[in-house]
Amino acid sequence: GQQLNQSPQSMFIQEGEDVSMNCTSSSIFNTWLWYKQDPGEGPVLLIALYKAGELTSNGRLTAQFGITRKDSFLNISASIPSDVGIYFCAGHPPDSSNTGKLIFGQGTTLQVKP
Amino acid sequence: ETGVTQTPRHLVMGMTNKKSLKCEQHLGHNAMYWYKQSAKKPLELMFVYNFKEQTENNSVPSRFSPECPNSSHLFLHLHTLQPEDSALYLCASSQEHTANTEAFFGQGTRLTVV
């Protein structure tokens, strides 16, 4: 089945640093979504991307839908301690047009040192 | 508060027990989903309901039985589970059951099978 390869698996950075993570696939996706999950909670939607090449920002977060439709990246600028958590990419494959099915990456665990 | 509420938050059950997980969404959405999140694995889609009708069963064992009495409520009935079924079970909803739609998650039920 379709898979999303998310990297890096984990990151440990200093407060104030910028962060970049990405997701790649061998097949195309129609939509890319980025979620953040705190311990013991459900994923919270950060950014949604609908068109190839689209670049969208949400505060200190910026994400892009790759032009090939096979990848996406998420950047976090000037990280703060509350950015700690697990970040997931997710995408709608072409065969999800009637189900809304999402495929998820393995997640990137972010730790921020004050 | 994401608009999707799951109860209970934590559940411990024996392999011969019968229990149910409940999900309620207050977003006016038409589609609801069950996902399973196991340690070290990506979120896995289990079931999709659209306007109370099941539109996807992702090869889930019959010991998991979903029920969707209306567009706002979704249940997952559990019977004779195995220890490997221990995981975080997440409910989500979206406006439609199609691609290009954003899914919003509840906080999850942490299930432990003993």
Q: Which of A69, A67, A102, A70 is nearest to A88 (CA)?
A: A102
Q: Mean pLDDT score of chain B, rounded to an integer?
A: 91
Q: Pick A84 or A101 by higher pLDDT.
A: A84
Q: Does A99 touch chain B (CB under 8 A)?
A: yes
Cα–Cα distance for residue pair A36/A7, rounded to 1 Å: 15
What's the average model confidence in pLDDT over A86-104?
A: 83
The answer to whether residues B90 and A44 touch, using CB atoms and an 8 Å cutoff, is no
Question: A103: which chain B residues are within 8 Å (Cβ-Cβ)?
Answer: 42
Percent of chain A with pLDDT over 90: 80
Copy the structure tokens of residue B62: 């019959």
Beta-bridge partners for A22: A7, A73
Q: How far is CA B48 from CA B3, B33, B56, B63, in A?
A: 18, 5, 5, 17
pLDDT, mean of residues B53-57: 83
Res A77: pLDDT:
97
Identify all chain A residues contacting B94, using CB atoms and an 8 Å cutoff. 100
A88 Ramachandran zone, left/alpha/beta (phi>0; psi -120 to 50): beta
Q: What are the pLDDT digits (tens) for B88-108?
A: 999 999 987 665 678 999 999
Higher pLDDT, A1 or B64: B64
Measured CB to CB, residues of chain B less than 8 Å from chain A are: 2, 4, 6, 31, 33, 40-43, 45, 48, 50, 55-56, 58, 90, 92, 94, 96-108, 110
Confidence category of residue B58, pLDDT binned at 50, 70, 90: confident
A102 in contact with chain B, both atoms CB, cutoff 8 A: yes
pLDDT in tens, B25-53: 999 999 999 999 998 788 999 999 988 88
B90, A97: Cβ pair inside 8 Å? no
The reply to whether residue B56 touches residue A99, judged by beta carbons under 8 angstroms, is: yes
* B92 vs A contacts (CB less than 8 Å): 42
